[in-house]
Amino acid sequence: MVSSDSVNSRVETLSSSGIATIPKEYIRPKEELINISDIFEQEKSTDGPQVPTIDLKEIDSENENVRERCREELKKAAVDWGVMHLVNHGISDELMDRVRKAGKAFFDLPIEQKEKYANDQASGKIQGYGSKLANNASGQLEWEDYFFHLVYPEDKRDLSIWPQTPADYIEATAEYAKELRALATKVLRVLSLGLGLEEGRLEKEVGGLEELLLQMKINYYPLCPQPELALGVEAHTDVSALTFILHNMVPGLQLFYEGKWVTAKCVPNSIIMHIGDTIEILSNGKYKSILHRGMVNKEKVRISWAVFCEPPKEKIILKPLPETVSETEPPIFPPRTFAEHIQHKLFRKSQEALLNK
């Protein structure tokens, strides 16, 4: 039985109710509203720095010079930005379109049907259909609904909570996850070499083929009547090793680069890749985990498919690798498990919210 409370708690319900002003829980504090204006105009702007586009076509070229040039560009983007548009990444346009089509078809279902897949964060059931709960000290909410599930390794998935409608959802998503896993290996190899490590080292440090988890979160940002007051996702860095993002070509991602919010362009057939905190820690800050946020608008629904590549929660101690540390570059992160790192971030965030009250 779907309760009316859960249906009413969805942002989609609010958006389609015809409200002209958003509830106060969704209005962000003044300091968070800097540089929030028309996202479509911001995306068109060519002023200032732009998120780099990295062409991976020659990442495994037999020509050493060509291969090294490609790898050097990826490494430079990881050092300077910690985020990039990947093109010629080896995943077909057809498969990406199937993933987008399937995810959109799920969110196009009536809310009552989606509620059958609802998660229950209070009881620890985090996989499934949900909305952000006001679990932070400031009580703020984000203008999005989402679907969250573990998509790889295959033996750790729970297909019973994956959408059965549309029919292609499971097959397309599973195939995409498998191909992303191979792409993650390629990227980690280049990032390892960029630190002067053996090419398999970073992959091993984040759990290897057996333990690195790929968690997909489909973010659904409904139309917002007051986009200048709200955020789809508040400013944060990803805790993952790497994050790969597909989107429906509606702008919304902003990165905090050199003290300013920069709007990412919509690059056709690209996958956005973020370096997460895990790789930043292992590299002792040489690779960056960039602060970013998700914007909303009143004209077009935005959907993004974020896949977080995460190490196991308890098995690995995350700390700067010995090769990244020296007398002049001491470790800038203390040793923590992945679970402890997440708790540390949550604690720090709640402390900041209390101070800002």
pLDDT in tens, 126-163: 999 999 765 554 578 999 999 999 999 999 999 999 99
Mean pLDDT of the chain: 93
Q: What is d(CA 291, CA 235) in angstroms, rounded to the nearest whole number?
A: 6
The neighbour count for residue 236, using CB atoms within 10 Å, is 14
User: Residue 300 falls within a domain, yes or no?
Assistant: yes
Q: pLDDT tens digits for 213-227? A: 999 999 999 999 999
Q: pLDDT tens digits for 256-265? A: 999 999 999 9
Output DSSP code: residue 314.
Answer: T
Q: pLDDT tens digits for 329-343? A: 999 999 999 999 999
89 is annotated as an active-site residue: no
60 is annotated as an active-site residue: no
Number of domains into which the chain is organized? 1
Q: Residue 107: give its domain's CATH number.
A: 2.60.120.330
User: Residue 49 falls within a domain, yes or no?
Assistant: yes
Q: pLDDT tens digits for 344-355? A: 988 777 666 655
Q: Which of 101, 104, 236, 319 is catalytic?
A: 236
Domain that holds residue 43: 17-356
Mean pLDDT of 116-129: 91
Whether the Cβ atoms of residue 214 and residue 152 lie closer than 8 Å to each other = yes
238 is annotated as an active-site residue: yes
| The pLDDT of residue 178 is above 50 | yes
User: Residue 90 falls within a domain, yes or no?
Assistant: yes
Q: Which of 89, 132, 292, 341 is catalytic?
A: 292
User: Residue 329 falls within a domain, yes or no?
Assistant: yes
Q: What is d(CA 197, CA 200) in angstroms, rounded to the nearest whole number?
A: 8
Q: Which of 149, 217, 274, 288 is catalytic?
A: 217
User: Residue 2 falls within a domain, yes or no?
Assistant: no
User: Residue 10 falls within a domain, yes or no?
Assistant: no
Q: What is the pLDDT of residue 1?
A: 41
Q: Which of 238, 247, 277, 341 is catalytic?
A: 238
Cα angle vertex 213, ends 207, 216, to 5°?
Answer: 155
User: Residue 174 falls within a domain, yes or no?
Assistant: yes
Both ends of the chain: CA-CA distance in Å?
38
| pLDDT class of 284 with cuts at 50, 70, 90 | very high
Q: pLDDT tens digits for 16-71? A: 999 999 999 999 988 888 778 888 888 888 888 999 999 999 999 999 999 999 99
| pLDDT class of 8 with cuts at 50, 70, 90 | low
Q: What is d(CA 100, CA 27) in angstroms, rounded to the nearest whole number?
A: 29
Q: What is d(CA 239, CA 280) in angstroms, rounded to the nearest whole number?
A: 10
